[in-house]
Copies of this chain bind each other. A is one copy, B any other.
């Protein structure tokens, strides 16, 4: 899957992933109203609304970006119907040729991480049958528990040819509280980066490992440093756009071949129709066309710095 992702990024010249993080506030009123009329202001009503919203966007963006990254929290907040909308989104993205990065940030002790790994990336054994559950292509994973919390994910990735992105340096303002603290003269995030190399060493695709890293666009200098420290890790870069990262911040996240990073934007794409620059051209009804235009514009913006 890492080879497939790198291939799509190269072919499309688009190291970009669209974050499908459908807050209800982003969903146009006409979609919400239709769903509430049918199911009421219920978990089911909200979940149908975010699914319809996603579907519109997926139909428009599928040919301009290689991948999407649904943030599972935005679905989980709507309970079981929300998780159903998550599953439908994952499946529909696959039907439309998009690679799916499940932004689930799971991580636990070994036996528990194994359950997360099979549930999201692998197959669970039921009697004599092996069955896929959520079936994303990649998942994000939290490193706080160390190697035995990561190893089961790597094992499943090797068996299924899928991948993970380990949280190394996150995009949020307080990420430095623990991640930046110095241990033996270097920040914790660099120690995590060393482990990313170790965990990914025997899980290699052609040029990049099945084990990638998350590094926020909001910390460009650390990104450039981490790019050098993890030569084989694809870096998933959140924080572009709404969180404040700009294309100029991104150059250091890439290798000299223009590869090595995939930049996420969520709000900036899926809620583009609410931004002044797109609102003038696209009505609420055309929210998905605004998302298409924002995705095209983002790809161009990033190509500029490669």
Contacts and interface: CB of A to CB of B under 8 A. Distances in A.
A197 interface: no
A43 interface: yes
A143 B144 CA distance: 8
Interface stretch (A60-68, A114-122, A244-252): A114-122
B73 A24 contact: no
A88 to B, nearest CB: 10
B188 A181 contact: yes
Nearest to A32: B127
Question: How many copies are assembled?
Answer: 2
A20 B191 CA distance: 34
A125 B24 contact: yes
B191 A181 contact: yes
A131 B178 contact: no
Interface size bucket, A side?
Answer: 35 or more
A202 to B, nearest CB: 17
A97 interface: no
A84 B43 CA distance: 14
B76 A80 contact: no
Contacts of A71: 108, 112, 115
A124 interface: yes
Interface string A148-162: 110000000000000
B192 A119 contact: no
A133 B44 CA distance: 11
A209 to B, nearest CB: 19
Contacts of A112: 21, 71, 73-74
Given A145-B175, A148-B173, A179-B146, A45 B76 contact: no
A116 to B, nearest CB: 5
Contact of A77 (B82, B133, B148, B238): B133
Interface in A84-141: 84, 87, 105-110, 112-113, 115-116, 118-120, 124-129, 131-134
A174 interface: yes
Interface of A: 21, 23-24, 32, 36, 41-43, 45-46, 71, 73-74, 76-80, 82-84, 87, 105-110, 112-113, 115-116, 118-120, 124-129, 131-134, 142-149, 167, 170-179, 181-184, 188, 191-192, 195, 238
6 contacts: A24-B126, A73-B113, A79-B132, A80-B83, A109-B171, A145-B167
7 smallest A-B Cβ distances: which pairs? Answer: A79-B133, A146-B174, A146-B177, A77-B119, A41-B127, A109-B172, A41-B129
Given A41-B131, A77-B118, A143-B144, 12 more contacts: A32-B127, A45-B126, A46-B126, A71-B112, A76-B133, A77-B115, A79-B87, A105-B142, A142-B144, A145-B174, A146-B177, A148-B173
